[in-house]
Amino acid sequence: MQTASNVPLLQYKDLNSKFGNFSNYYNEYAVNPYWLIANIRSQGTTNNLIGNVQADYKFAPWIKGTVRLASNLSFGSGKNTNAPVVVSDWAAANRNATQYSNRPGAEVDDQNSSSTINFDYYLSGDHDLSKDFSFKYIAGGSVRDSRYKDVQAGGNNLLVNNLYNIGVRSGDAIVGTNGISNYRLVGAYVDLGFSYKGWASVEFTGRNDWDSRLSEANRSFFYPTVNAAVVLSDAIPSLKDNNFLSYLKLFGNISKSGNVNLNPYQLQVTYSQPGGFPYGNIGGFTTNNTYPNPDLKPEFVNGKELGVEALFFSNRLGVNATYFTQKNTNQVLQISQSWATGFPVGLANAADFKNYGVEGDITLSPLVNVGKGRIDFKMNATYNNNKVLSTLNNAPVIIGGSSGFIQNSVGSPTINNIAVVGLPAFSFQMSDYQRDPEGRVVVDGTTGMPALSSSLITKGRTLPTWILGFTPSYSVGNFSVSMTWEYKAGNDFYSGLGSDEDFAGISARSAEYGRQRFVFPNSSIYVGPKNAAGIPTDEGLADIKNYVANTNIQVQDGNSGFWTGGTSNTEIATNYFGSAAAWRLRELNISYSLPFKWIGATKAIKRLTVSAIGKNLLLFVPKSNQWGDPEFNYSTTGNTFGLGSSFQSPASRLFGGSITVQF
């Protein structure tokens, strides 16, 4: 970030060269990236053991008993090592100590193990009640036990250079999170399906869960589903045997599903030892920041779906369409609260929202034949709208994000995801300039500088309304090529990279006026009444007559004073907020199978395919997006969407290839 774009970074590869070595690296604020690659390492291994035992017994032709025990054991071990920094005497004496000072090596070892044991038992079977009428059923229960344990230990001051063992440290060892986590889930369910002549079916399911992560009163919850389908092309004789329509199915379902969106032990306030505690024999605890509602309930999704599936022209054209509506109730959210409550984060069933839309796809197979080759085409489209129906106490719920986002630059914007009744699930709440009733930015009559508003504005939506996918492919003989294109639109995003770039002076925005003084565009000046302390009155501020357009007052400093200033630029979230629409070429796949005559059934090698694959090849974004891929998310609290920062590395463009040999 603090590196100018004309610096030839590739030439610093040799860490022993004159300019590449640690002490001589040109930048006072950053370390040679090649040094970091070589010296800050994180290595780990995970071993998994998956086991499965199943016993079936047929009590009667239509009663089969099944007992299944499945286990997944995982053992992980990792080691993070930071190499010691040894700088030259000259660098220690003359360069800034933030980077250029000696530091000992450090290491942390981590061991963890987890186990998930699933025990399922059920009876199942099917039976024809008559020639036309049959049913099938499953009834049973399940028990899941999930455990996790993690132990960390390490040392900050390693006495022997480049030997990474806790035994060679001085001072206290670092004892990291030593966590145990265990939950149990017991379930009982029934699934009953009826079918008539093979073209009409209806299925009922019901399930009750008991989950250890909830309090005794809320532990048990039931959720049923019913779905039905009819294949009209089989049911209605007049639809049979025509060249136009080859298959037509209608289906629908009404479902409810429950989910416990919690980790174990989240129902209680916790206390832990922060910072340097314990100091010798003095321990000290602080109240942790989250206040959970001990009465948390499971989340439910109540869904309704109605759909059609059709094939035309001897299966050459396929069309699927589904209308869906979902009501999500009791969403467990992390809520931002005032620090004065003692708990800046609350955990509660804080919002209900609705999701509705249409999902469909069209398959053309083949779309067209070109000589010996053929072109196929598949397209899918989803329109998904959503709306918050209610929130805790009907007050806006701040879901997460941060104020003073953790970023490189000093003074960065406040932006959050927020749930407001009647708005999309979810929208953004963010900092903005002070504006007059017409929306013009209000600048100071003397300095020409804009200012940060105390009110946050709410706008935008976090999730796309439209997602389109296009998959054309072409194949001729043994050669085939396919592409996956995707378009998402309707949502917005915030790029924290923007304010960092402005701070470092490497953004296009910051050079917009050639670093010279300028008149802030579309701005006005307040000339209305002020109170005794010289502060504009609320009534005055609300009246558009008290503003005059600013045509000639330039900002007092058009250079770093403006562009790195928090209230004038870098803390204004709306400066870095925009449409998240994007077209992208997700994947390009080219493959070639060697002709059968060279290999083939009689030879040792039966099949050989060579393919090349490229991922994230192209990205097209609107001109307003100067910052790149809008699909990044990073936040200090909560599960959020559309909040990017400079801490994620950009999506990597990936090229790969494969050779598949079949013997």
Partner 1 sequence: MKYIFFNKKFLFVIGLGLMLGSCSKSYLDINSNPNQSTDENITPELIFPQAAEAVGSIQGVGPWGFLDGWLGYFASNGDFARDQQTTSYNIDFSFSNGAWSTYYDALFDLHQVKTKALVKGDTALAGASMILSAKLWQELVDAFGNVPYSDAFSVDKNPRPTYDDAKTIYNSLQLSLDTAIQYMKTIPPAGFYFPTADIVNHGDQSKWMRFANILKLRMLLRQSEVSGFDPSSELTKINNTTNGGLPGVGDSFSENPGYQNDVNKQNPTFATLGYNSAASPAKQNTSTGLNNYILGVLYSGTSTVSSPDFIDPRTYRFWQTVSGGFYGNNYGDDAGNSYSGASTSYFGPGLIGDPNNSGIYTAGASQDQWILPDYESLFMESEAAERGWIEGDAQSLFESAITQSFIFLKVPDANNAALSYIENTFFANWQQWQEYKGSTVEDMADLIAIQKYISNCGIDPFESWSDERRLHMLELLADPNTPIGIPINEYSDYISANPSKISSTIPIRLLYPQTEYTTNSTNVKAQGTIDQFSSKIFWMP
Which of the residues 515 through 534 are near partner 1 (CB under 8 A)?
533-534
User: Residue 145 or 234: which CB sits closer to partner 1?
Assistant: 145
CB of 38 to partner 1, least distance (A): 21
CB of 411 to partner 1, least distance (A): 5
85 to 104, contacts with partner 1 by CB under 8 A?
A: 92-98, 101-104
Distance CA 233, CA 244 (A): 11
Residue 270 CA to residue 285 CA, distance in Å, equals 10
Burial call 40-56: b when 16+ CB within 10 Å, e when fewer: eeeeeeeeeeeeeeeee
Asked if residues 9 and 26 have their Cβ atoms less than 8 Å apart, the reply is no
Options 274-282, 489-497, 627-635, 650-658: segment touching partner 1 (CB under 8 A)? 274-282
d(CA 77, CA 44): 6
> Binding to partner 1 by residue 275, rule CB under 8 A?
yes
Question: Quick one: 337 or 471, whose CB is closer to partner 1?
Answer: 337
Instruction: Give the tokens for residue 532.
Output: 């005794």
Asked if 268 interacts with partner 1 (CB under 8 A), we say yes
Q: Restricting to residues 2-21, which ones interact with partner 1 according to CB under 8 A?
A: none
**Closest CB 390 distance from partner 1, rounded Å:** 16
Residue span 154-173 as binding mask against partner 1, x where in contact by CB under 8 A, dash where not: --xx-------------xx-
Cβ distance to partner 1 smaller for residue 318 or 565: 565
Interface segment toward partner 1; rule CB under 8 A; list 310-318, 326-334, 396-404, 644-652 = 396-404
* 18 contacts: CB under 8 Å, gap ≥ 6: 24
The whole-angstrom separation of Cα 263 and Cα 181 is: 8
- Residue 214 CB, nearest approach to partner 1 (Å): 8
At closest approach, how far in Å is the CB of 6 from partner 1?
A: 20
- In eight-state DSSP terms, residue 288 is -
233: enclosing H helix or E strand: helix 232-235
State the Cα–Cα distance between residues 658 and 591, nearest whole angstrom.
9
**Under the criterion CB under 8 A, does residue 546 sit at the interface with partner 1?**
no
Residue closer to partner 1, measured from CB, 532 or 659: 532
CB of 452 to partner 1, least distance (A): 5
Residues between 287 and 306 with contacts to partner 1, criterion CB under 8 A: 287-288, 291
Shortest Cβ 460–partner 1 spacing (Å): 16
Nearest residue (CB) to partner 1, 17 versus 182: 182
Residue with tokens 């999930």: 146
From residue 241, how far is each of 20, 132, 237, 251, 314 by CA, in Å?
76, 22, 9, 22, 10
Task: Restricting to residues 622-661, name those near partner 1 by CB under 8 A.
Answer: none
Residue 73 is inside which H or E element, if any?
strand 63-82
337 scored as a contact of partner 1 (CB under 8 A): yes
Q: What CA–CA distance (Å, rounded) separates 397 from 11? A: 50
122 touches partner 1 by CB under 8 A: yes
Which residues within the stretch 232-251 sit at the binding site for partner 1 (CB under 8 A)? none
Contact positions with partner 1 (CB under 8 A) in 58-77:
62-63
Q: Rounded to an integer, what distance in angstroms lies between the CA atom of residue 443 and that of residue 456? A: 18
- By CB under 8 A, name the one of 4, 217, 282, 659 that touches partner 1: 282
Q: DSSP label at 545?
A: G
From residue 170 to residue 209, the character string flagging contacts with partner 1 as x (rule: CB under 8 A) and all else as - is -xx----xxxxxxxx-xxxxx-----------------x-
Q: What residues between 360 and 389 interact with partner 1 by CB under 8 A?
A: none
To partner 1, the closest distance from the beta carbon of 86 in angstroms equals 9
Q: Which residues in 96-109 are b (16+ Cβ under 10 Å) and which e?
A: eeebbeeebbbbbb
Helix (H) or strand (E) holding 280: none
Which C-beta is closer to partner 1: that of 316 or that of 459? 459
Does residue 420 interact with partner 1 by CB under 8 A? no
Helices in 15-122 by DSSP H: which ranges?
Answer: 33-39, 89-94
Q: Candidates 242, 338, 552, 602: give the one binding partner 1 (CB under 8 A).
A: 338
**Residue 27 binding partner 1, by CB under 8 A:** no
What residues between 557 and 596 interact with partner 1 by CB under 8 A?
A: 557, 560-562, 564-568, 571
Rounded to an integer, what distance in angstroms lies between the CA atom of residue 311 and that of residue 355? Answer: 28
Residue 78: closest CA among 100, 109, 103: 109
- What beta strand segments (E) does 392-478 contain? 397-402, 415-419, 427-430, 441-443, 457-459, 466-476
- In degrees and rounded to multiples of 5, residue 637 shows phi and psi of -135, 150
**Residue 107 vs 629, nearer CB to partner 1:** 107
Q: What backbone phi and psi angles, to 5 degrees, belong to 22?
A: -50, -50
